[in-house]
Amino acid sequence: MELFLFKAITMISIVKASKEHINDLLPLFNSYRVFYKQESNLEATKDFLEKRLDLNEAIIFLAYINDNPAGFTLLYKTFSSVSLLPVFILNDLYVDKDYRQKGIGEALLNRAKKHYIEKQHKGLTLETDVNNPAQKLYEKLGWKKNSLCFHYFWSAN
């Protein structure tokens, strides 16, 4: 467990989540999905998280304040064929509304950066809505907006 001290009074602890953390992670992840206009579904959310952890398909860092689950970030591993190196996709970052503006998002982003350095990957990538105010935090922490390429998405639906 890593401890971070922010704003002189807030003690944030961050753990790498495992199945034993599902009950703490579940309401946060469900709220994250609802924030993105998905129906609340605790059962499906629990199944999704358990599968990602069982299959070692995701790395989830879970932040606590005073033993209360307060936020998380989820990383997926992919690869860069050009550089021949693995890359982490920071796919999800969420802080519960009751714990925002306490440095949790920053602590989670910094923990993801530390993980990338430990694993010696090419880097971290993320995608965010053009109106997401978290862009200021990303840029403050050294993330660079990619203006050299576009992101496309295709779906049969």
Asked, for residue 86, whether it belongs to a domain, the answer is yes
CATH number of the CATH domain containing 43: 3.40.630.30
Which pLDDT tens digit goes with each residue over 30-41? 999 999 899 999
pLDDT at 141 > cutoff 90: no
pLDDT of residue 56: 95
Domain that holds residue 101: 2-140
> Per the structure, how many domains does the chain have?
1
Determine, yes or no, domain membership for 71.
yes
Confidence of residue 46 (pLDDT cuts 50, 70, 90): very high
**9, pLDDT greater than 70:** no
Q: How far is CA 90 from CA 47, 86, 101, 137, in A?
A: 21, 13, 20, 14
35 assigned to some structural domain:
yes
Is 11 inside any structural domain? yes
> Are the beta carbons of 27 and 94 closer than 8 angstroms?
no
Q: What is the mean pLDDT of the chain?
A: 88
Evaluate whether residue 147 is within a structural domain.
no
Q: Is residue 146 part of a domain?
A: no
pLDDT at 27 over 90: yes
Residue at 152 is within a domain: no
pTM of structure = 0.84
Instruction: State pLDDT tens for residues 83-127.
Output: 888 888 999 999 999 999 999 999 999 999 998 888 888 888 888
**Residue 1 pLDDT:** 61
3-state DSSP call for residue 85? strand
| 44: number of Cβ within 10 Å | 13
For 78-89, b/e burial (b = at least 16 CB within 10 A) is eeeeeeeeebbe
Give domain status of residue 156, yes or no: no
Question: Residue 16: pLDDT band by 50, 70, 90 thresholds?
Answer: very high
